[in-house]
Amino acid sequence: MQKPREWLREKSIAKQVLKDANVVLEVVDARIPLETRNSTVEQLAKERNKDLIVVLNKTDLVPEDFLKKAKDYIEKEYKTILFSAIQKKGIDDLMKILKQIAKEKKLIKVGILGYPNVGKSSLINALKKRKIATTSPKPGMTRGKQLIKLDDRIFLIDTPGIITLELPEDLALKGSWIPDKLEDPVEVAIKFLQKVIEKAPQALKQLYKVEVSSDPVETLENIGNKLNYKVKGGEIDYDRTAKKILWDWLKGNLRAYWLE
């Protein structure tokens, strides 16, 4: 997902999946469930009369009471499943719904959509109970689309899953862009820290064992100091510190979460 042309190709795949599938699973990151919903996906599913189920994946990274709040919120619009591909949670709930739909329709194709790195391929592996789709902490792992037979009636479509023309800087805030490929990781990390300081400063304290100041730049410095990331002359290596924080977010090491 580097060049615009490639991006548009991925986008058209997602659109095609929305056409082919009977059911759409919109996979979101349970840490930021609303930010990783995609209005284009939801809009297109609505227009095409497809069942859409929101799957909150990575629920192992957030507390129960937050999950309940998030589920109640999203369930006003869509059926919502709490899932953890890593801990193999939510599989039965999801299978029950899919089997129910399959019974009515004889055969269903389930399109798996969602931002890069939310765990679409991991979810497929969890349902399939073996490693069939390639997963990776690097966003943009899955290219093209892959049809996977779950049972006689249910087929899953693994995809890059994204319908968006958002900028890399915005995708990085969602853990959906490789930090090393950002033009200015420091700027993005500062913006990210600002949000975390506001919503979940304890997550920074817990992971980096630092003082969290209300100033994101100062906090970035504190983290760089703590990690001992320095350039020649003893100055903090801002670039390296920024990338590290964004990678920790992407990899689930940083357990911040918020609804809005």
Kindly list the residues in this chain that would bind ligand GTP in the complex (CB under 6 A): 57-58, 60-61, 84-86, 114, 116-122, 135-137, 139-142, 160-161, 252
Residues 6+ apart with CB under 8 A from 85: 57, 58, 119, 122, 123, 125, 126
Shorter beta-carbon distance to Mg ion: residue 85 or 196: 85
Shorter beta-carbon distance to Mg ion: residue 57 or 121: 121
CB of 162 to ligand GTP, least distance (A): 7
Is the separation of the CB atoms in 216 and 190 below 8 Å? Answer: yes
Q: Say which entry of Mg ion, ligand GTP, none residue 116 contacts (CB below 5 to 8 A, set by partner kind).
A: ligand GTP
φ/ψ (deg, to 5) at 238? -60, -40
164 binds Mg ion (CB under 5 A): no
Only segment of 84-92, 135-143, 177-185, 196-204 that touches Mg ion (CB under 5 A): 135-143
CB of 60 to ligand GTP, least distance (A): 5
Is the separation of the CB atoms in 134 and 158 below 8 Å? Answer: no
Is the separation of the CB atoms in 184 and 239 below 8 Å? Answer: no
Q: Which of 172, 175, 159 is nearest to 113 (CA)?
A: 159
Which residue among 67, 95, 141, 227 contacts Mg ion (CB under 5 A)? 141
The amino acid that residue 211 corresponds to is E
Instruction: Give residues in contact with Mg ion (CB under 5 A).
Output: 120-121, 141-142
